Amino acid sequence: MKEFILNMLRLPGIIGRTGNLGFTPAFRRGLLRSHLRYMAAAAPAGGGIAGMAGYKVRYCNYASFRYLFTELFLNGEYNFIPETEAPVILDCGSNIGMSVLYFKTRYPDAQITAFEPDVAAFSCLRDNVAGNRLGGVCLNNKAVSGKDGHVVFWRDPDKEGALGNTICPNTPKAASAADSVRLSAYVKGRVDLLKLDVEGAEFEVLEDLSSSGKLGFIRQMIVEYHLHMPGMPERLSGFLGLLEAAGFGYQLGGEIERPFSDGAFQALHIYAYNKMPADK
């Protein structure tokens, strides 16, 4: 009941915000209808299929789906301005493909290469791209990291396709193997957007792009930076330093949890943009 009242109070803000996200009026109405429907219904257990503003979305777990729906479609987390109407996008850490649906909704002509190592999430991603007849999307059931080959992929065994599944050994989880590639091999020309949400591997991915000389091809980046992953060294200065050296500017977003506790994990949002003019 309390949740329902809070949701009702948030509604005016959501209605206002979705008006500024560049969706068509029909799609926005569809989004709001879906949102109301999700609000009214009880959360189903396990995986399933949900209708979302005209799309059919297959998901592994409902909580992650709702979270992504809210962040991407209601809050416009990836709301960026490309220099072309047909942007080339590298989407690393696509999970079930909500980001792919978002980019395709905003830019139907986008060329997207998506990476997702988790088998369960990837199976949803494939169905969501095929089932919604999205063209110009290339899918890779692989992790991006600093090396080609195989990596250990740590999954949450209680939650299929969980958003925190990672190649970084942090909290004890179930280990499995995943194919891994260096992202630099996929950068052959101008990339309008690199979306990087790879649960702690972001530093090695950026290092690979930098040392291979491919960073200059990238125009904009949206990165989720994982600060204080257990067992990982502190090197945000190094990450920003690589961006600065390659001529990128950046804006940061982050919220400090209250009460403040030293060393708490924090998900930072880094938006980086190439300050050099693009080659034509």
Partner 1 sequence: MNDLGRRLSFSGLLRAARVIMRQRVPSRLKRALMASYFRLCFLRAGRRGEGRVRVSGFNVKYCSYDSLLYLFREIFLEQVYWFHSESDAPSIIDCGANIGMSVLYFKMLYPAAEILAFEPDPDAFASLSWNTGEGNGFSGVSVRNEALAGNAGRVSLYSSLSGPGDLSASFIESRAGGPARTVNAVRLSDFIDRPVQLLKMDIEGAETEVLKELKDSGKLALVSRLLLEYHHHIDRNADSFSGILALLESCGFGYQLSASLERPLRGGRFQDILVHAYKVR
Query: Chain-centre distance of CA 63, in angstroms?
Result: 16
Number of chain positions touching partner 1 (CB under 8 A): 46
Cβ proximity to partner 1, 131 vs 216, nearer residue: 216
- Continuous segment of H or E residues that includes residue 68: helix 62-68
Written as six digits, the tokens of 195 are: 């979306």
- Let me know how long the chain is: 280
The reply to whether 230 sits near partner 1 by the rule CB under 8 A is no
Written as six digits, the tokens of 125 are: 């991603």
Torsion-angle region of residue 93: left (phi > 0), alpha (psi -120 to 50) or beta? left
Q: Are strands 55-59 and 88-92 parallel, antiparallel or unpaired?
A: unpaired
The reply to whether 252 sits near partner 1 by the rule CB under 8 A is yes
**Which residues ranging from 18 to 47 are in contact with partner 1 (CB under 8 A)?**
21-22
The reply to whether 9 sits near partner 1 by the rule CB under 8 A is yes
Binding partner 1 (rule: CB under 8 A), the pick from 260, 277, 279, 280 is 260
Q: Is 6 helix (H, G, I), strand (E, B) or coil?
A: helix
Question: Among 26-34, 159-167, 199-207, 245-253, which window interacts with partner 1 (CB under 8 A)?
Answer: 245-253
Between the two ends of the chain, the Cα-to-Cα distance in Å is 56
Closest C-alpha to 172, from 151, 155, 197, 150: 155
Q: What is the dihedral of CA 142, 147, 151, 156, to 10 degrees?
A: -60
**Which residues ranging from 61 to 80 are in contact with partner 1 (CB under 8 A)?**
75-77, 79-80
The reply to whether 203 sits near partner 1 by the rule CB under 8 A is no
The reply to whether 275 sits near partner 1 by the rule CB under 8 A is yes
The reply to whether 235 sits near partner 1 by the rule CB under 8 A is yes
Binding partner 1 (rule: CB under 8 A), the pick from 250, 276, 278, 280 is 250
Euclidean distance between CA atoms 182 and 209, whole angstroms = 8
The least distance separating partner 1 from the CB of residue 83, rounded to whole angstroms, comes to 12
Cβ proximity to partner 1, 165 vs 220, nearer residue: 220
Cβ proximity to partner 1, 39 vs 240, nearer residue: 240
Closest C-alpha to 225, from 248, 184, 258, 196: 196
Question: Among 146-154, 160-168, 208-216, 221-229, which window interacts with partner 1 (CB under 8 A)?
Answer: 221-229
The reply to whether 186 sits near partner 1 by the rule CB under 8 A is no
The least distance separating partner 1 from the CB of residue 159, rounded to whole angstroms, comes to 26
Cβ proximity to partner 1, 80 vs 154, nearer residue: 80
Euclidean distance between CA atoms 83 and 89, whole angstroms = 12
The least distance separating partner 1 from the CB of residue 88, rounded to whole angstroms, comes to 17
Identify whether the C-beta of residue 112 lies closer than 8 Å to the C-beta of residue 138.
yes
Q: Which residues bind partner 1 (CB under 8 A)?
A: 9, 12-13, 21-22, 75-77, 79-81, 220, 222, 227-228, 234-241, 243-244, 248-256, 258-260, 262-264, 266, 268-269, 271, 273, 275
